Amino acid sequence: MLSFIVRRLLTLIPTVFGISVLVFFMIHLVPGDPAEMMLGERASKQALEELREQLGLDKPLHVQYGRFITRLLRGDLGRALRTNEKITAEIAQRFPATVELALAAMVFAVTLGMLAGVISATRQYSAFDYSSMVLSLVGVSMPIFWLGLILMIIFSLHLGWLPLSGRLSYDVHIHTVTGLHLIDGILTVNGKGFRDALWHIIMPAFTLSTIPMAIIARITRSSMLEVLRQDYIRTAKAKGLPPRLVHYKHALKNALIPIVTVIGLQFGILLGGAILTETIFAWPGIGLWLLNAVYARDFNAVQGGTMLIATTFVTINMIVDVLYAWINPRIKVS
Amino acid sequence: MKKYGVWILALGILWASGALAATPKTGGTLVFGRGGDSVGLDPAFETDGNSFMICDNLYDQLVLYADESTDIVPGLATSWEVSPDGLTYTFHLRKGVKFHDGTDFNADAVVFSLGRMMKEKKVKFFKTQWEFPKEQPPAEYWLSMEMDKIVGAIEAVDDYTVVFKLLRPEAPFIANMGMDFAAIVSPTAVLKLGPDFKSNPVGTGPFKFVKWIKDDRIILQANPDYWDGRPYLDQAIFRTIPDNSVRFLELKTGNIDICQFPNPEDIELASKDPNLKLVSQPGMNIGYVSFNHTKPLWQDKRIRKAIAYAVNKKAIVDNIYYGLGQVAKNTIPPTMWGYNDDIQDEPYDPEMAKKLLAEAKFFEKLKEAGQSKITLWSMPVPRPYNPNGMKVGEAIQADLKKVGIDVELVTFEWGTYLKKQREQDPSMDLFQLGWTGDNGDPDNFLAVLLDGYADPNVRTQWKNEEYHNLIIKAKQASSKEERIKLYRRAQELIHEEVPLINLAHSLVVCPMKKSVMNFKLHPTASIRLHKVWIES
């Protein structure tokens, strides 16, 4: 097991290096110049040149890449061009919001998605099966911003049950420990803060969960169907085990591998920031930040942010691989 | 879509008069909803409106703009004198003012705040020899207002007197001193906090900084010791809500008090909502179409005039600005001093346009230039002065088709657009652009946009000697009356020569709760909450 993990860790190095090359040159290929964007209509040639020089943009690309990669090796992502703040600090301020939203969305997606998938598989071709599979198709194809707005109009504007946007009401404060409001609310025994944070996260988390929920439901259904056809399931049923036990203990455990993969991948994607959900719900996370950086052609911020997201993604992928090996020991051998 | 402009103005006046009758109430929190977060809060180094709107409430300048105009009134300076040659400005400072960190505001703080932006720091302190920070981001506004070419030295004469020695007579200098970048900061805090100052700002303004949660909210608290009286509000919160529709929903549900930049459709909804009201202000801006003056094709002013006759500006304002703008006949907006209201704009007259084009042999000249059509460059992004450059481009394309000119619309990514336009790309015939004023001085429009003689960075690159002389004279004139005369003549000259077609000035409309009292939109787009109160 250990050598497996070490091998997987080693493959991370070329992957991350490849990402750094790709990210750096792709953002420089996109037309647009941060100095022009900052100065806008009032940009004079002289002001532009001085600004480019101060930002280090007057240097040739390979020199800029060299600086980027040497900084990166020291664990320094540099400073954002637009704000002149350390990118690690900028990300650190926003990452907890994204993590919290992604976790909450995954709670919705995994519980509801797996439940729907298992029930659909065990009652194949029933009304529930059809309707949940149609719903999951809708879930995958529905535009997030549209769903978000509809939920807001129903649950906030008309029913008044949930707050519209943001992470907390303006008159509620939570002392920061982890940066995850729900957890901090519990850790600091702040009931009012916890409740407020919970009300705020329900709609964005549900909105964000629709796509992964639908994917998880479909993959659970097909994986379960495959397992349910196996001989040992028939044997278990023949032995007279109650169906619930057969489905949830014997079948589901063996159907888990593709489901875990999908859950891991989806979680990795959500951690990259949910640009649409974060924009609609005014959720101050990494997606919104990255979007603004792209608009401003803030090369440093885009590079730093993307590097971090990509590294997180491949790391999660690796953890999923390790989990695989743990769930199914045969994988280690191959 | 209907025209909103006229009745919005009328309603605005109605509410303004209502506000006058009410008595201010102290207390409460105002939540201001806006589309984007601030970049930083050190006024010397910011360039964006979302940063400046916070700075407006945290800092003061030596001079301030009047409540609803760009007239200059005393700020941290109670009075000032200008030497007869226009080269020395002496400011007498307000006594007894303290920064939010408890340190004294004095002449050395002024020298520090403005001196740190100078390329060559020719400054003299009176008491404290402040050292300037070694590493600073570029002072972009100072650079773009060409302050290094204007200010030679800044000297503190005593605790409460500062002298600015100019390199050339520059009448707009005093208006520049009211701009955000010229705000006075606490030197102690700047040196103590270094790069963190911009996230922990310390000024002398009506509000003190409390907390900034990035991309979420900035919280300010009333400064009880403010020299111009404590603000009525206890607290002001600026919330970032990026989506326009959601921001407006937040206003409708009562979670925010003011909603900046709503969608035009929502303005109509707001006008019907019994809990909301609208406040509006003509923006200090101009959206225009100009010519590539480096090409021989556009040298004949009859051709330029023909294009002006051919464009139906009113239809553009009605249909693309949704009526939230007014047709422009001058380059400077009507709210600005020096505006020449006697100018008669060219009416929309395609027949006249055809006649002028034939007279000037436009189509022959076009053929000689090897072209069968002309290009019209249009912005890819909405700007404060033009909500949709591409749609305006399509409207002009259709208008010119009616007089027989085929137009190809061209656009680029915004940064590239600005760059290629500045280089006067030879493939460009007409281009759209615009300007938002900085300091309320006509020079900031008329010189910046049209004096191509003075500066290769002028976007239109129109070179007219008479015009150049007028602008220079106006910069050097000592009295406002004389300057007004010169600017009125400059506007006549623009009208005669048509170096550009003035399209529209946009109108800024802000829906808010009826309980928000005395909120005024300022022509410079600054948001000042000092005298705003909440009616319970």
Strands B123-124 vs B151-158: parallel, antiparallel or unpaired: parallel
Task: Average the pLDDT over each of A314-318, B176-180, B358-362, B531-535 and give the range with the smallest value.
Answer: A314-318
- CB-CB under 8 Å, A51 with B418: no
Strands B533-534 vs B276-282: parallel, antiparallel or unpaired: unpaired
Tens-place pLDDT, residues B501-526: 999 999 989 999 999 999 999 988 88
Which among B37, B249, B456 has CB closest to A164? B249
Average pLDDT over residues A80-91: 87
Residue A310 forms part of a structural domain: yes
Range of the domain at A313: 99-145+207-333
Judge if A36 and A125 occupy the same domain: no
Give me the total of CB pairs closer than 8 Å, taking one residue from chain A and one from chain B: 134
Tens-place pLDDT, residues B404-436: 999 999 998 888 898 889 889 999 999 999 998
Tens-place pLDDT, residues A105-155: 999 999 999 999 999 988 888 889 899 888 888 888 888 889 999 999 999
Judge if A30 and A124 occupy the same domain: no
Task: Single out the residue in A58, A73, A88 at which a domain terminates.
Answer: A73
State the total domains in chain A. Answer: 2
CA distance A284 to A288: 7
No. of H helices and E strands in chain B? 18, 21
Residue A138 forms part of a structural domain: yes
- CB-CB under 8 Å, A39 with B140: yes
Could you tell me the pLDDT band of residue B17, with boundaries at 50, 70 and 90? very low
Which among A33, A94, A279 has CB closest to B214? A94
Judge if A309 and A228 occupy the same domain: yes
pLDDT (0 to 100) of residue B1: 42
Residue A286 forms part of a structural domain: yes
Residue B366: strand, helix, or coil: helix
Residue A181 forms part of a structural domain: no
B239 touches chain A (CB under 8 A): yes
Nearest in space to A251 (alpha carbons), one of A270, A237, A265, A272: A237
- CB-CB under 8 Å, B253 with A164: yes
Cβ pair B324, B267 in contact under 8 A: yes
Residue A272 forms part of a structural domain: yes
In the predicted model, is pLDDT for residue B2 greater than 80? no
Tens-place pLDDT, residues B189-241: 999 999 899 999 999 999 999 999 999 999 999 999 999 999 999 999 999 99
Q: Find, in chain B, the residue whose alpha carbon is nearest to that of A92.
A: B214
Beta-carbon contacts of B150 under 8 Å, excluding residues fewer than 6 positions away, are: B166, B167, B168, B170, B173, B176
CA distance B407 to B395: 11
Cβ pair B231, B26 in contact under 8 A: no
Q: Quote ipTM for the complex.
A: 0.84
pLDDT (0 to 100) of residue B80: 96
A250 touches chain B (CB under 8 A): no
CATH of the domain at A313: 1.10.3720.10
B472 touches chain A (CB under 8 A): no
pTM exceeding 0.95:
no
Could you tell me the pLDDT band of residue A11, with boundaries at 50, 70 and 90? confident
Judge if A245 and A122 occupy the same domain: yes
> Average pLDDT, whole number, for chain B?
92
Residue A133 forms part of a structural domain: yes
Residue A245 forms part of a structural domain: yes
- CB-CB under 8 Å, A33 with B138: no
Judge if A47 and A128 occupy the same domain: no
Judge if A237 and A124 occupy the same domain: yes
Tens-place pLDDT, residues B266-287: 998 999 999 999 999 888 999 9
B510 min Cα distance to partner chain A (Å): 20
Residue A164 forms part of a structural domain: no
Tens-place pLDDT, residues B334-385: 989 999 999 999 899 999 999 999 999 999 999 999 999 999 999 988 888 9
Judge if A249 and A214 occupy the same domain: yes
Nearest in space to B443 (alpha carbons), one of B411, B409, B480: B480
Judge if A237 and A122 occupy the same domain: yes
Judge if A240 and A117 occupy the same domain: yes
CB burial readout B182-201, b (16+ within 10 A) else e: bbbbbbbbbeebebebbbeb
pLDDT (0 to 100) of residue A25: 86
In the predicted model, is pLDDT for residue A332 greater than 70? no
Could you tell me the pLDDT band of residue B8, with boundaries at 50, 70 and 90? low
Judge if A55 and A109 occupy the same domain: no
Q: Which site among A170, A172, A200, A279 would you substitute to test the B interface, given the most B Cβ atoms closer than 10 Å to its Cβ?
A: A170
Higher per-residue pLDDT: A253 or B484:
B484
Judge if A328 and A244 occupy the same domain: yes
Judge if A105 and A248 occupy the same domain: yes
Could you tell me the pLDDT band of residue A244, with boundaries at 50, 70 and 90? confident
Tens-place pLDDT, residues B65-101: 998 888 899 999 999 999 999 999 999 999 999 999 9
B457 min Cα distance to partner chain A (Å): 5
Name chain A contacts of B412, Cβ cutoff 8 Å: 31
Tens-place pLDDT, residues A19-64: 888 888 888 887 777 888 777 777 777 778 877 887 778 888 888 8
